[in-house]
Structure 1
């Protein structure tokens, strides 16, 4: 056989492997909340600088998603997944803005909790599955929905969590593999039991194990399940106030740890056994942001109550590492800021800089290694921001609730590059894939891309 023929056969085999999904790099999939282990970063994706929904400029497609959902889209290869809760009785209106009302929405209509699989290149719905039908067990906050948890996938299975309505695992063709009912998960304001705000902690998949964090009014826990069978691997009870954060993974040497945000019990567990490794108390008493990992640290932030801290924790932490009052470091806490943490948004670690976007749109940049503040600027003119920042190719993207997306140059100096409009309310964090930026708005899933049919 000639060298040309061998090269041709090798080329064909590479193409076949790629088509069959055997050549997919899992590290470049946006496979859970905020992408690969909630990092929020994907480089070398070549996104357009500007777009316009009304004119269609650099809009690859716009697909209507029925119902309500503040969950974020995820992407694996050519499939985009998103969840929603559909009801004719719930108007679908979401209140935006910064305000202090804790009163939930009164609604007892029947809902369908759905998972959609959408073709990445066309926006066509490949399949739709209804996981549960019934009256919601918990009320929602006016800024919330009944589908807040972002799904997660490992390319073989996709997991959707709907809080009190259950945890569901499907294969990539939409066939239900297993489900779990945890009863009523009371996601309420810890001081007012009637202030129901709905569940919002998203699942995590690591090494074929599903991790869920359920910090609720009664019987809080964290648990691990076999993704193929749904079998419980371990479960640990938690003495914790209700929280809305998503767990994450870090490595202490070669030992994987599950790390969670919290107020009474921020900390880490052994991934294989569930054994507690370290803990820390204090901070914002309604923890929502997800911990992020990088530069040999785990970064936390939270807000509400007396303080709104940011912490940089060493990966070798053990035991109780709670800071004394007004203390900003100890053996395992590298540095801390007692003010400046965000209430809603997960922070972004990009290179050696840590970015924190607050509810009022104020973006603060820190040196991630030392905690030195580089700048603090209000981004744009929006009055409320619940979407967390993401980044690609040196640009940070932040969306306000009015659907204006701000592009900020990454680095130690604040430079606003562009403002692009989605023309719809936007409460969730975007997803990034090669040449695509996906936004979940109140009514649509929008694909921004320089590639258009």
Structure 2
């Protein structure tokens, strides 16, 4: 059947052509209206360009209607097996989904591209090989946890110190590679890549060194590199750290916000929360603390940077972002401590409320401005993946494949509970009115029929 082609503007100014078929409508006006609706929905489905989506906030597009209920036998548009092992969140643009995997032993690293409409595997690209990868030592992480960053025409695949590559999205051709950015991850890489203007920003917090760097996204050449200024206090008489491993490394993915009249790169590390100028790498301010192994991405709301300190002394810090230097004694507006603070899943800010899930399945709502507790409920299970917000709903994804959907409000209300066969380690993607979910073995597209 012959159809009509309607051009429309998608995210990032891309022109997207949508094909509409001439089904029978009551009037010509109805046909035009249907075309506008179809075009709008699919144009909005164009972008989830980095970990946690646009700006790294975990928020679905305004007006999206994600499904409330699903199972292995209902509201699954397609299900595609993904080879090897990877916890990276897929990134989406212009009908493509890009994600990474690595062999379980950490010797080989791959990029995959899946068609968003059909689930068909479009590209499978071997990118890096490592003869002697560092042993992970646990099952919480893997060798392909960092998420890619995606823009029109290019995808930036990142595997920490094992390598970073830029690929052409039309052909999967490698445009440039880097495998000379060292870091002893100790338990595998975790920080995802983010884009800012002409820069690809990468975070390396390892046992041996801790730094953040920006590459020219066109060439892969280093533009700036900034060493962390964390003041470690656990040295022995020979100048060696008393506590190796977990106490220096971190896995958090930074975000960039406009705060205190300037752009700030908010980048938690082990034992310290940092803010940098994203164009130059200059350190703006920091808040030292007694936590370690930071994995949670910060969020920004009600004029505060809301950051988790990590393992050990687990707190949420509400930080005013208008300071300089060490502001731990002057700019921490509030603290929320205890076992309900997550060490892996990143939180959400929705209007004036802050939502989080602990690794052991406690859901908590706080006032973003004050840190005051609003409600606390048990969802059960364990959690690594970060939640997502859409409309008046928040979706929480557990390690055993359960998704709990609750009302995004001051009164706790559970709306649904859904189950897939395998568990979630990767965070979700909102693609128009669909959810793209990566379990330990498969990639799903979930949408109401």
Give the TM-score band, short-chain normalised: 0.7 to 0.9
Distance in 1 (alpha carbons) for counterparts of 2:290 and 2:344? 14
In the other structure, the counterpart of 1:334 is 333
Residue 70 (structure 2) pairs with residue 80 (structure 1): no
Distance in 2 (alpha carbons) for counterparts of 1:219 and 1:363? 34
In the other structure, the counterpart of 2:435 is 437
8 Å contact kept, 1:61–1:123: yes
Distance in 1 (alpha carbons) for counterparts of 2:143 and 2:6? 46
- Deviation of 1:26 after TM superposition, in Å, equals 8.9
Deviations 1:57-93 (A, max 9, x none): 110100000100111111113111111013xxx4xxx
In the other structure, the counterpart of 2:122 is 126
Deviations 1:97-131 (A, max 9, x none): xxxxxxxxxx5xx7331111111111011212111
Equivalent residue in structure 2 for 1:281, among 288, 313, 320? 288
Distance in 2 (alpha carbons) for counterparts of 1:74 and 1:128? 15
Instruction: Label 1:13 to 1:422 Cα distance change in 2 as closer, same or farther (>3 A).
Output: closer
Instruction: Label 1:78 to 1:27 Cα distance change in 2 as closer, same or farther (>3 A).
Output: closer
Equivalent residue in structure 2 for 1:244, among 223, 228, 251? 251
Equivalent residue in structure 2 for 1:44, among 63, 81, 86? 63
8 Å contact kept, 1:283–1:309: no
- Deviation of 1:346 after TM superposition, in Å, equals 0.8
Distance in 1 (alpha carbons) for counterparts of 2:6 and 2:359? 51
8 Å contact kept, 2:429–2:437: yes
Distance in 1 (alpha carbons) for counterparts of 2:8 and 2:283? 44
Residue 158 (structure 2) pairs with residue 146 (structure 1): no
Residue 79 (structure 2) pairs with residue 62 (structure 1): yes
Distance in 2 (alpha carbons) for counterparts of 1:161 and 1:220? 17
- Deviation of 1:28 after TM superposition, in Å, equals 6.8
Deviations 1:382-401 (A, max 9, x none): 2x111111111211111111
Distance in 1 (alpha carbons) for counterparts of 2:44 and 2:303? 22
Q: What SS is found at the alignment partner of 2:97? A: strand
Residue 360 (structure 2) pairs with residue 354 (structure 1): no
In the other structure, the counterpart of 1:327 is none
Instruction: Label 1:176 to 1:270 Cα distance change in 2 as closer, same or farther (>3 A).
Output: same
Distance in 2 (alpha carbons) for counterparts of 1:27 and 1:338? 38
TM-score (norm 1): 0.83
Q: What SS is found at the alignment partner of 1:261? A: strand
Deviations 1:379-428 (A, max 9, x none): 1x32x111111111211111111101111111111111111111112212
In the other structure, the counterpart of 1:413 is 411
* Regions of 4+ moved over 4 Å: 11-17, 23-28
Distance in 2 (alpha carbons) for counterparts of 1:150 and 1:244? 12
Instruction: Label 1:20 to 1:230 Cα distance change in 2 as closer, same or farther (>3 A).
Output: farther
Alignment of 1:63-212 (within 5 A): 63-86=80-103, 90=104, 107=105, 111-140=107-136, 141-173=138-170, 174-182=172-180, 184-188=182-186, 197-212=187-202
- Deviation of 1:239 after TM superposition, in Å, equals 4.4
- Deviation of 1:177 after TM superposition, in Å, equals 1.4
- Deviation of 1:232 after TM superposition, in Å, equals 1.4
Size of the aligned set, in residue pairs, is 401
Equivalent residue in structure 1 for 2:326, among 320, 327, 332? 320
Distance in 2 (alpha carbons) for counterparts of 1:356 and 1:268? 22
Distance in 2 (alpha carbons) for counterparts of 1:67 and 1:133? 14
Residue 437 (structure 2) pairs with residue 449 (structure 1): no
- Deviation of 1:303 after TM superposition, in Å, equals 3.1
Distance in 2 (alpha carbons) for counterparts of 1:187 and 1:360? 24
8 Å contact kept, 2:7–2:17: no
Distance in 1 (alpha carbons) for counterparts of 2:7 and 2:65? 27
Residue 313 (structure 2) pairs with residue 296 (structure 1): no
- Deviation of 1:243 after TM superposition, in Å, equals 0.3
8 Å contact kept, 2:273–2:307: no
8 Å contact kept, 2:111–2:124: yes
Q: Over the residues paired in the alignment, what is the CA RMSD in angstroms? A: 2.4
In the other structure, the counterpart of 1:260 is 267
Distance in 2 (alpha carbons) for counterparts of 1:25 and 1:58? 22
Deviations 1:322-378 (A, max 9, x none): 24xxxxxx3x22222233421111111112110111011001100111211101111
Distance in 2 (alpha carbons) for counterparts of 1:77 and 1:270? 30
8 Å contact kept, 1:157–1:169: yes
Q: What SS is found at the alignment partner of 1:37? A: helix
Distance in 1 (alpha carbons) for counterparts of 2:448 and 2:175? 37
Unaligned runs of 5+ in 1: 1-8, 91-106, 189-196, 324-329
